[in-house]
Structure formats: C-alpha cells, structure tokens
Structure 1
Amino acid sequence: MPRTSTSPRRGRALRVAASLAVILALAGYLAVQYVSGGRGAPRCTVGPADGGEGRTYELSPDQAANAATISAVGTTRGLPERAVTIALATALQESTLRNLDHGDRDSLGLFQQRPSQGWGTPEQIMDPVYSAGKFYEHLVEVPRYLDLKLTVAAQWVQKSAFPDAYAKHEPDARLLADALTGRAPASLTCTVPAPAAGESGDAAEVRSDLVRAFGKDVLPSAGSAGASAAGTVSVPVRAADGAAPRRGWELAHWAVARAGTLRIAEVSYAGRTWTAGSGWRTERKESGAEAVRMRLAQ
C-alpha cells in the first residue's frame, strides 16, 4: 500500500522553501518602498483637470517624460492639440511610449522609425526630440490630416502592417494631450524616487532640456530680469491672446513628467505647487501670467 504522508525531511524542506519565498517577496517590497520613499513604485497619473472625477490613465515616469517631449515638440512647431493626440496615440501603439533600441527589422525609437527607410541615423532616431519632429514633418504633409480619423492619419505616416491598431489608443492619447498641452490644469502628477544621498538637480541640464524641447525662446536671455535663484529654474510664461494659463500648465506638466530624470523636487505655477510626495496642492489664489518655478533636489 503506497504511503500518502510526506516524510519529515521533505516536509522541512518545503517549509524552508516557503519561508525563503516569503522573505524574498518581503525584501523586494521593502526595496521598492525604500527607493520610492514609501510611496510604492514610481508612477504617473493623468486625469481630469484639477483632480476632478473622471477617467484616468496611469503610466511610468519614463513614459510620461517621453509623452511630454512629443507634446512639446508639436506645440513648439505651432501644431494643434489634435496633431499631438495623433502623435501620442502612434507612439503608444508603436513603442508604448518607450524609447526602444530594437523592433521589427531595423525599427527603433518611440515611433519605430527605420534608418533604412530614410528616417535618419540610428542615433538620431533614438533621440525623442528628433524622432517626434520627423513624425510631425510627415504628418503635416498628409492632406487634411486634422479631418481624418486618427488611425487613418497615423497610418498614412507609419505605413504599418496593422493599420487599425492606432484607434484603440485614442482615449488615452486625448487624456495625455489635454494635460501636456496645458488645457487641463493640474491633471498630471507623478511619484518619483527620492534622489540618492549627494545627488542633486542640475539647473544647466534642466535649461538645456527645456530649450531642446521648446526652443531657445522658452527661457529669458542671459542677464535679463527674472533670473533663477540658486537651486531653481524659473520659466516666464509668455503667450499671446490670453493663452498664458495654458502655456504655463504645459510647462508645469512638462516639468512634472521630467521630474525623475532631471531631479526636480517641486514645481509651482498659478498658486499651486506639486511635490513628488503629495501631488498638487493650492497655496494661494493668483491670476494672470507668471513664471513656472522648478525647485531642484539639493
């Protein structure tokens, strides 16, 4: 008659293995908590303006940073929000907003552009500013692209083997475009890892990234009024026809999306302040154009 009970030695081995699994799981959880300052895994959330009720979309800080770059390149070229939505939906489908160094055949980057098809060198395509610019260059050549269905406009540029795939990303792309073009105030927030000991933000790096994304006119000329204090970068909000608030929120959301990479600890605009630990809060009522202020980790 076969024995059905587990031998003492085997039972002990199973208990030890189970205990080790629990310890490893706990260690992994504590490591994530330590790296992110007790806030869980780093993440970004975009939703309705001012934290209102409605649909939300969650993405990683790296994805948010790439989305912010795509949006900034589009608006800097004077393109409408619809163009930004098309670009974001395309990148969501092609790369899930990750700057991939691989793909089908020689496809690379956010839009999976191919060097062999004339999109640029591999080094150029792996630059999000360049690759977004090339996408927009081709998009504006599409006849009446603003009147087309999103998936039709995107496919005209991409020549994908899956021409209908872009449509499913339109709701998320619209939500992102609302925030990143500044139409939905205080609608993007991120939790990012606390800087390591001795690690601080670099104001020169922040200014360089601003200029690459938004053009040289985004910052005041050297020696002009409004120079940034030590450890901060101040960006004046300059927009015509009453569009200053939208421009300000575009810059503020860009800073939040890039906070993890650039080690930005705090972003302030229009009487509201974002911090990695608490999101957006209202500090004072304020109207009119002003500057977006970024306080760097020290």
Structure 2
Amino acid sequence: MPQRRRGRPWRAALVVLVTLGLTIGAVNVVQTLLRTPTSPLVQRCIATDGQESVALDPEQAAHAALISAIATERGLPARAVTIGLATAMQESRLANLDYGDRDSLGLFQQRPSQGWGTVEQVTDPVYATNAFYDALVRVPDYENLEITVAAQEVQRSGFPDAYAQHEQLARLFASSLTGHSPAALVCRLAEPDAATTAALPATLTTRVARDLPSVVMVASGTDHLLSVQALTPDGGADSPDLLAWAVAQWAVATAHETGVGEVVVAGQHWVRADGGRAAWAPLPDGAVGVDDPVGTVRLR
C-alpha cells in the first residue's frame, strides 16, 4: 500500500499566504498612487510658427505683451517689437530688475546716469518701453537693420552680438502679439485663486488702461468686450481683424495676472481650463461670441 504523501496542507497554506500578500501589496501600491500628488502644471506661454516653438514663463510673457502693446498703440511695425523683445531678453530676461551693472535698472537696463530717466521712471515698464522706442525710431532705417545693429544703436552695450541669440524667440512672440500670426500664442496656466477671480474686472480694467488705452472695454454680464476700432490708424494700415488678434493674444499672455479664463476672437477661443493641452479652437455653433463683430475680443 503506497504511503500517503504529507505536507500538502502546508503547501496550500503557503499559496494562500503568498496570494494574500500579493493582494495586500497591490492594494498598498494603489493607495500610495492615489495619495501621491500629481506633478504641478509647468506654467508656460508658447509662441509658434508651425515649425518651431519658443516659450516664456508667465511673468516674462506679460512683459512681452506690454512691449508689443505699446508698439501697437504707437503704430510701430512688428519689427520694432522683435527688436524690443530681443533687447529686453538680453538685458533683463524680460524681468523688471531693480539691479544691474552700475546703475542699470528695469526691463531694458537703462541707466539714470546716462539720461534715460530717474530710478522710478526706468523701473516703470511703460516708461522704460516708451523710452526704448523713442530712441529706436530715431535710428535711420531701423526696420531693415539686423537685430544686433538696431539694438546696439539704442543700448550701446559692451556685448552687441548677444542680442542675436534671442532673435527667434523675439520674432515668434512679436508675430503673434502683433496679430500677424493668429492663434499662434497659447499659455498653459493653473486655475486662478478665488481672490484673483474676484478681482478680475478691476485688474483687467487697470491693465487695459495701462497697456492699450485706445481699446474700449465694455462689461456685458460676466463677459468683457474689447473693441479695437480706435487702434486702427488713419486710413486703416492694420485691419481690425489683425488688431483683434493682437489684443486677443495680449489677453492670453497677461491672463496669469488678470485671471482671464477664456479669450474669444474671430470665432475661435483659448480656454485656460484646458491646462496642459492649451490651444486655440473653433467655438461650437451657437456659442456666445461666435457671431461677435470683426474687431471685437471677448474675455471671460
């Protein structure tokens, strides 16, 4: 009679214990993953020409938007914006610095001792930008000069060739912020906090009055309508739709500060809540804003 094999109950118990351990381990892994916070959104503003893309952080983009808006208000060409952005990138990385070489200060590192203005003036981005353009437009044929040459005529830098490294970034942001490249600038932004949202009407009013004083803003419920008609120069050198795209992409580039959640223009919209996949897209049929008049930008 064959002897009965022993130990099977122990092997069965071992299988149960191993299976139980694996199950508990899997549950722990899932719980750990659920407790682990997702990586924070990297906030960036991106300009593209369809082939290449360049990026700025939201603070830099807001300063770029101001530099472009002032040029638009003055009726200056996109080339002036490209020169201004390349210069500010080299001088300050598009930050309103309160320090610099010797007494250099602000976006363009202008020196009070060299006649650029007082400390308070050169650290005011609006004053500094206008002072830069005042000097640029006195440079003969600046529109046709290389970036390095035009910028050096204004800045008198010890490193004149350094401006060239920012030409691509400056050109793509200038093209979008002046409206020449529609739907070419988007920002990937986190949702604004409650205080920023509550202050949106006041903040937006102040920012439009500072950057684009010729733009007419009218509140319509929770929306804010911007009309660019007053920006059109005598005879209409720039069309209302081009200027509307300039204002719309200015609004995207400043949304981090103002709290704007949606920008609507020419039947398209940028939505802040899209986060990581931020892009311009057509408005759905029948949506509010799809039939807005040419030259109108709707902000929400």
Report the TM range for the smaller structure's normalisation. 0.7 to 0.9
- The 5 Å alignment of 1:63-78 reads 63-78=60-75
* Corresponding residue for residue 57 of structure 1: 54
- Aligned-residue sequence identity (percent) comes to 46
Structure 2 counterpart SS, 1:246:
helix
Q: CA deviation at 1:202?
A: 2.8
**Most deviating of 115-124 and 283-292:** 283-292
Q: Quote the Cα distance in structure 2 between the aligned partners of 1:198 and 1:258.
A: 17
- With the length of structure 1 as denominator, give the TM-score of the two structures: 0.79
Partner of 2:8: none
Q: What's the CA shift for 1:72?
A: 0.7
Instruction: Please give the secondary structure, in 2, of the residue aligned with 1:260.
Output: helix
- In the alignment, the residues of structure 1 paired with residue 108 and residue 222 of structure 2 have an alpha-carbon distance, to the nearest angstrom, of 35
8 Å Cα contact 2:65-2:177 kept in structure 1: yes
> Per the alignment, in what secondary structure is the counterpart of residue 264 of structure 1?
coil
Matched, 1:256 2:259: no
Q: 1:92, 1:190 → 2: CA distance?
A: 19
1:291 to 282, 290, 296: 296
Which position in structure 2 is the counterpart of 1:234? 225
Deviation digits for residues 97-121 of structure 1 (CA, Å, limit 9, x no counterpart): 1111111111111111111212112
Compared CA separation, residues 83 and 242, structure 1 to 2 (3 A): closer
Q: CA deviation at 1:156?
A: 0.7
Change (3 A) 1:30 1:110: farther
SS at match of 1:98: coil
Q: 2:266 aligns with which of 267, 270, 276?
A: 270
Larger-gyration structure (1/2):
2
Give the aligned partner of residue 281 of structure 2. 281
Question: How many aligned positions are there?
Answer: 251
Could you tell me how far apart the structure 1 residues matched to 2:80 and 2:164 are? 14
**Following TM superposition, by how much is the alpha carbon of 1:207 offset from its aligned partner in structure 2, in angstroms?**
2.0
* Corresponding letter in the other structure for 2:247: L
TM superposition shift of 1:228: 1.4
**Structure 1 regions of 5+ residues with no counterpart?**
1-25, 34-39, 221-226
1:211/1:219 contact within 8 Å kept: no
CA RMSD after TM alignment: 2.1
Q: Per-residue deviation at 1:126?
A: 1.7
- Partner amino acid for 1:44? C
Shift in Å, 1:233: 1.7
Distance across 2 between alignment mates of 1:108 and 1:199: 29
Map 1:86-101; keep pairs closer than 5 Å: 86-101=83-98
1:46 aligned to 2:51?
A: no
For residue 267 of structure 1, give the secondary structure of its aligned residue in structure 2. strand
Q: Deviations over 1:126-162 (max 9, x none)?
A: 2211111000000011122122211111001001000
Q: Secondary structure at the match of 2:264?
A: strand
Give the CA deviation at 1:204.
2.8
What are the superposed Cα offsets for residues 55-108 of structure 1, whole Å, 9 maximum, x if unpaired?
A: 000110111110010011112111111111111110111111111111111111
**1:210 and 2:208 matched:** yes
SS of alignment partner, residue 99 of structure 1? coil
Aligned-partner Cα distance in 1 for 2:140–2:56: 32
Compute the displacement of 1:275 (Å): 1.2
Task: For residue 270 of structure 1, report the CA deviation from its aligned partner.
Answer: 0.7
